[in-house]
Structure 1
Amino acid sequence: MVEIKSHDFDRFSKSSVESYRIFLVYGPDRGLVSERAAIIAARSGVAADDPFAMVKLDSSDLSGDPGRIADEVHAFGLFGGKKLIWVRAGGTEKPLVDALQALAGGTPSDNILLIEAGDVKKGSGVRKVAESANTVASIPCYADDTRAMNALIDDELKAEGLGITPDARERLLEALGGDRIASRGEIRKLALYRKGQGTIEEQHVIDIIGDASAVSTDDAVDAVLEGDVERLNLAFAKVVASKTPVFLILQSCLRQFQMLDIMRSEMDEKNTEPAQVMQTLGRHIHFRRKPIVERALRRWAPQAIARESARIQSTILQTRQRQGLEDSIAFHLLMSITLQSARQASAAARR
């Protein structure tokens, strides 16, 4: 198995990409997955604007033609030179798994296969194949820890010649996380606001990123996790009254359940307690919220977490398709999960 850890990715992308012909980039942080896949593609030596050398496929392409990946990988470029076959899929599709199985154990091609997958569980889909092959570079993408987030802040602010005070940094760290592209966008928005001003202070972060509605959003997510119906009603009403998009609650709730999924997987794989997982994967969580997240880890089973994550993603899509009913659709889902949390809490109390 060749797994590239998060702290090694920058070094790997600058010096070792050419050593591999097959790459698997996967994980719950879709922004980070996309970002790292794009970096590998850019450093592959294949021109992004050459339609004959850059071949992009998705799940629908595979379902209609199961052998498409292998055919593309073994095909010669129309004008010579290597090709990049960039596949965006969930990671469990049978044509994709079968193709990776065959290519990982076969004779290496000059062409490059780059798989951009979703949150593939250990022991399933393309991840199972990749982790048993030394010809595949596997790149997991989980939500940034504090060190990675600090590095992202420093890189973006340094590029604009800006400094940041310790209080402002702490406030910014609390507001970021869950999705690399979204976090980078927030930092750049803050940098643009302070461009040419030298230093970012705490009030600047509050003005641009951390307004009062964010507190209500966190309150709503915490109410969902705790099964507190009254608190959810109050927090939701605050968000609506502030004219803040209700989508932000769904987005925060989705990030929280994705993080719970990662933490539960860590607990199950290493047979650890929630408190131990919180010390590693939960370091970026505000200290006031840590007991709430720890209780949720004790109550929610992995299958239930995955189910609710899928429901939230589906609801986000529904709110975009039926914007006139956004508030109603979002509230119905959040109340449903809150009631489920309440039942989980009640069952845990009886045990």
Structure 2
Amino acid sequence: MKASRAEIERTLDRPSDSVRCILLHGPDDAGSRALSERLAKAMGADAERIDLDGATLAKDPALLSDEAASTSLFGGARWIRVRANGDEVTEAVEALLAAPQAGNPVVVIAGALKPASKLLKLALASPAMPAFASYAPEGREADQMVAGLGAALGLRIAPNIARRIFDAAAGDRAIVVQELEKIASFLDAGEGPPREVDAAVLDAIGAGEGESSSGALADAVLTGAARPAVEELKQLAESGEDGIPLIRAMLRRLLQLAALRADADRTSLAEATKAVFFKDKDVVAAELRRWNAPDLAMLVDRITAAQARLMESGSAGAVTASQELLTIARAAAGRGR
């Protein structure tokens, strides 16, 4: 059953026996994880969480329904969180939906799924399996997301400041939260009136600079700067950042570009990039000149597939990510400016 955001939030906030499984999918993996935390909160701090992965359930499909029907070792609440890679958990979820009883809520975080996905089709056909797709927020929605997260920490954030923070985090909700927590600590926020976050605060603590290390890599790749891309990969590897985080950063940038490309096709390049942080405007415009809408859609599919491969057990993450990104960089270099 396809659910709206309001519907999926109600389902997560108030678990019901009528719901066997909740499917959270879409390219914004951080958004899906954030939604799953609503279920964690609803179940209570003392609830037992069982974590399962797609590879395990692909080998033992009955395990999911067994865990859903089992009682907690400690006699309290219990719920199951599944990290899936595409359709590998379809048989396990089918068994769960067909089981005579379940009892424990199950949430599946599946990443980006194509319309032909067997798991997605299963969810859409079942009233006991609401499904919601998360996409990286854009424009005003992104600003409101940052402002809302900041308000919970005692911060008041204007739209232009929210956009700086969002762009610096490359749209990753988890990174946005980390930045906001750093700002809240700096301003000693939390009690009393909300603390105003302005450009001086961001400059003072180095937040909202408009470009993260992984963002610099994505820009080098998409503008065809192969040599700088190699150097960025080396530096990121030395700092321990490789594999899936880099692919996800690239996917976030591509989704941003796809939205801007659609705006540019409707209006103009200048109009579409008007809201882009000024330090990023030139490189974003260069990327949009290189890639048209169909090509960006192809890259989104390609990076989504690469992410799925990386999540498979035993995949050589760093090597796979580097090879994929450098292949795109070489293709971008052949496109000119």
Q: TM-score, normalised by structure 1?
A: 0.69
Over residues 110-145 of structure 1, what are the superposed CA-to-partner deviations in whole Å (9 max), with x where a residue is unaligned?
A: 332222222222220311210122221112222123
Q: CA deviation at 1:310?
A: 5.4
State which drifts further: 115-124 or 290-299.
290-299
1:173-322 aligned within 5 A: 173-196=166-189, 198-206=195-203, 207-211=205-209, 214=211, 218=215, 220-227=217-224, 229=225, 233=227, 245=239, 247=241, 251=245, 254-258=248-252, 260=254, 275=265, 286=277, 288=282, 289=284, 292-293=287-288, 295-298=290-293, 300=295, 302=297, 304-308=299-303, 317-318=317-318
Name the counterpart of 1:3: 3
Q: What CA distance in whole angstroms lies between the structure 1 residues aligned with 2:333 and 2:16?
A: 48
Instruction: Report SS of the residue matched to 1:131.
Output: helix
Separation (CA, whole Å) in 2 of partners of 1:262 and 1:131: 27
Cα distance in structure 2, aligned partners of 1:335 and 1:184: 30
| One-letter amino acid of the counterpart of residue 133, structure 1 | S
Q: Is the 8 A contact 1:26 1:140 kept in 2?
A: yes
Please give the root-mean-square deviation of Cα atoms over the aligned residues, in Å: 4.7
Q: Which runs of 5+ in 1 are unaligned?
A: 320-328
Are 1:123 and 2:83 an aligned pair? no
Change beyond 3 A, Cα 1:304–1:13: closer
2: CA distance, partners of 1:247 / 1:14: 34
Say which of 83, 102, 105 aligns to 1:88. 83
Distance 1:146 1:192 in 2: 27
The CA deviation at 1:105 is 5.9
Classify the secondary structure of the residue corresponding to 1:341.
helix
Distance 1:211 1:308, change over 3 A: same
CA–CA separation in structure 1 for the residues paired with 2:146 and 2:19: 30
Paired residue type of 1:25:
L
Aligned-partner SS, 1:136: coil
Unmatched 5+ stretches in structure 2: none
Question: 3-state SS of the aligned residue for 1:43?
Answer: helix
Match of 2:64 in 1: 69
> Is contact 1:120–1:127 with CA below 8 Å preserved after alignment?
yes
- Give secondary structure in 1 for the equivalent of 2:52: strand
Distance 1:234 1:258, change over 3 A: closer
**Does structure 2 retain, via aligned residues, the 8 Å contact 1:27–1:117?**
yes
Mapped to 2, the partners of 1:202 and 1:316 lie a distance apart of 41
Structure 1 residues 154-169: aligned runs within 5 Å: 154-165=147-158, 167-169=160-162
Summarize the Cα distance change of 1:341–1:48 in structure 2 as closer, same or farther, 3 Å threshold: same
Aligned partners of 1:128, 1:134: CA distance in 2, in Å?
Answer: 12
Aligned-partner Cα distance in 1 for 2:57–2:292: 37
State the AA in 2 paired with 1:187.
L
8 Å contact 2:22–2:131 — kept in the other structure? Answer: yes
CA deviation digits over 1:276-309, x for unaligned, max 9? 5999x99975555256247424363755544345
Say whether 1:337 aligns with 2:337. no
Aligned-pair distance for 1:333? 6.0
Secondary structure (helix, strand or coil) at the match of 1:123 reads: coil
Q: Which moved more, 1:284-293 or 1:111-120?
A: 284-293
Go from structure 1 to structure 2 and tell me whether the alpha carbon gap of 1:274 and 1:309 turns closer, same or farther (over 3 Å shift).
farther
Deviates more, 1:111-120 or 1:98-107: 98-107
Superimposed CA distance per residue, residues 227-264 of structure 1 (whole angstroms, 9 cap, x where no aligned partner): 2x3xx5458769989xx959499956643335536987
- TM-score of the aligned structures, taking structure 2 as reference length: 0.71
What is the identity percentage for the equivalent residue pairs of Structure 1 and Structure 2?
22
Q: Which amino acid aligns with 1:256?
A: M
In structure 2, the residue matched to 1:325 is none
Question: What is the identity, as a one-letter code, of the residue corresponding to 2:79?
Answer: L
1:82/1:335 Cα in 2 relative to 1: closer, same or farther (>3 Å)?
closer
Assess if the C-alpha contact under 8 Å between 2:254 and 2:299 holds in 1.
no
Say which is worse superposed, 293-302 or 308-317, in terms of deviation.
Answer: 308-317
